[in-house]
Chain A
Amino acid sequence: MTALSRLFQLVVTLLAASFLIFFAMQVLPGDPADVLLGQNADPEAVAALRAELGLDRAIPIRFVDWLGGVLTGDLGVSATYDVPVAHLIAERAVVSLPLAALAVGLAIVIALPAGVGAAIARGRPVDRVVVAGALVGLSVPNVWLGLILIFVFAVALGVAPAGGFPGWDQGFGAFGALLMPAVALAAPQAAILTRLVRAAVLEALDEDYVTLARAKGRSRRAAVWRHALPNALPPILTLIGLQFGFLVAGGVIIETVFSLPGLGRLLFQAVAQRDLMVVQGVVLVLVSMVVIVNAAMDGLALLSDPRQRADRPKAARAS
Chain B
Amino acid sequence: MLSRDLFAALALTAAVFTPTLVASAHAAERPLVVGMALEPPHLDPTAGAAAAIDEVLYANVYEGLTRIASDGTVVPGLAMDWSVSEDGLSYTFNLREGVTFHDGTPFDADAVVFTLDRARADGAENAQPQLFAAIDKVTAVDPTTVRIDLTQEDGDLAYSLAWGDAVIVSPSAAETLKSAPVGTGPFTFDTWRRGDRVILSRNDAYWGEQANVPQVEFAFVSDPTVALAAILAGDVHAFPNFPAPETLPVLEADDRFNVAVGTTEGETILAINSASEPFDDVRVRKAIAAAIDRQALVDGAMYGTATPIGSHMPPHAPSYVDLTGLSPHDPEAARALLAEAGVEDLRLSIALPPPAYARRSGEIIAAQLREVGIDAEIVPVEWAEWLARIFRGKEYDLTIVAHTEPNDIGIYARPDYYFHVPNERFTAIMAELDKVADPDTRITLLKEAQTIIAENAVNGFLFQLPKVGVWDARLDGFWENAPIQANDVTGVRWQE
Query: What 1/0 mask marks residues of chain B from 363 to 389 whose CB sits below 8 Å from any chain A CB?
Result: 000000000000000000011111111
B222 with A256: CB separation less than 8 A = yes
A154 with B384: CB separation less than 8 A = no
Grouping DSSP codes into helix (H, G, I), strand (E, B) and loop, the B interface class, with mixed when no group exceeds half, is loop
Given contacts A80-B41, A154-B235, A155-B229, contact A39 B197 (CB under 8 A): no
Residue in chain B with minimal CB distance to A265? B195
Residue in chain B with minimal CB distance to A51? B123
| Complex CA distance for A83 and B194, rounded to whole angstroms | 11
A28 with B384: CB separation less than 8 A = yes
Q: How far is the CB of A30 from chain B (nearest CB, A)?
A: 3
| Complex CA distance for A226 and B345, rounded to whole angstroms | 73
Grouping DSSP codes into helix (H, G, I), strand (E, B) and loop, the A interface class, with mixed when no group exceeds half, is loop
Q: What total of chain B residues lie within 8 Å of the partner, measured CB to CB?
A: 49
- B346 is an interface residue with CB less than 8 A from chain A: no
B385 with A161: CB separation less than 8 A = no
A36 with B196: CB separation less than 8 A = no
A45 with B223: CB separation less than 8 A = no
Query: What 1/0 mask marks residues of chain A from 20 to 31 whose CB sits below 8 Å from any chain B CB?
Result: 000000001111
B387 with A35: CB separation less than 8 A = yes
Residues of A within 8 A of B236 (CB): 162
Q: How far is the CB of B344 from chain A (nearest CB, A)?
A: 32
Q: How far is the CB of A56 from chain B (nearest CB, A)?
A: 13
Residue in chain B with minimal CB distance to A261? B195
Q: What total of chain A residues lie within 8 Å of the partner, measured CB to CB?
A: 50
| Complex CA distance for A80 and B127, rounded to whole angstroms | 14
A30 with B195: CB separation less than 8 A = no
Question: CB within 8 Å of A: which of B37-94?
Answer: 39, 41-42, 47-50
- B406 is an interface residue with CB less than 8 A from chain A: no
Q: How far is the CB of A265 from chain B (nearest CB, A)?
A: 6
B129 with A34: CB separation less than 8 A = no
| Complex CA distance for A257 and B225, rounded to whole angstroms | 9
Given contacts A45-B124, A154-B235, A259-B221, contact A40 B130 (CB under 8 A): yes
Q: How far is the CB of A279 from chain B (nearest CB, A)?
A: 12
A259 with B196: CB separation less than 8 A = yes
Query: What 1/0 mask marks residues of chain B from 160 to 197 whose CB sits below 8 Å from any chain A CB?
Result: 00000000000000000011000000000000011111
B384 with A30: CB separation less than 8 A = yes
Q: Which of A40, A82, A151, A154 contacts B49 (CB 8 A)?
A: A40
Query: What 1/0 mask marks residues of chain B from 386 to 411 whose CB sits below 8 Å from any chain A CB?
Result: 11110111000000000001000000
Beyond A163-B221, A164-B235: 5 further Cβ-contacts under 8 Å?
A34-B387, A38-B387, A45-B123, A82-B178, A273-B41
- List chain A positions with a Cβ less than 8 A from chain B: 28-31, 34-42, 44-45, 47-49, 80-83, 88, 91-92, 147, 150-151, 154-155, 158, 161-165, 167, 256-262, 265-266, 269, 272-274
